[in-house]
């Protein structure tokens, strides 16, 4: 894959979720497989993008996401 990122389907998209790392709840907006490689090592990570009640979005590891409530 030569792109820097790719969208990934997820069962909780557009649903209320909680980030277990921070405890913050919000709506899961996207899950992206993102290339975080440096010049010598290729590395991809799946990040979840969550929009909190404030309207501000943050990212976290997709494994940190669980359904809220």
Encoded tokens for 66: 């669980």
What is the residue extent of each domain of the chain? 5-67
Positive/negative CA dihedral, 10, 12, 14, 20: negative
pLDDT digits (tens, 9 = 90+) for 8-53: 999 999 999 999 999 999 999 999 999 988 889 989 999 999 999 9
For residues 8 and 31, is the Cβ–Cβ distance under 8 A?
Answer: yes
What CATH fold (topology level) applies to the domain 5-67? SH3 type barrels. (2.30.30)
Strand-pairing partners, residue 25, are: 18
Band of pLDDT at residue 1, cut at 50, 70 and 90:
very low
Q: Cα separation of 37 and 1, whole Å? A: 12
Question: Which backbone phi and psi does 37 adopt, to 5 degrees?
Answer: -70, 155
């Amino acid at each position: 894959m030569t792109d820097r990122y790719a969208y990934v389907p997820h069962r909780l998209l557009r649903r209320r979720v909680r980030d277990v790392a921070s405890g913050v709840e919000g709506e899961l907006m996207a899950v992206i497989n993102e290339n975080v490689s440096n010049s010598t090592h290729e590395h991809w990570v799946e990040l979840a993008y969550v929009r909190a009640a404030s309207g501000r979005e943050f990212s976290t590891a997709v494994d940190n996401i669980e359904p809220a409530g």
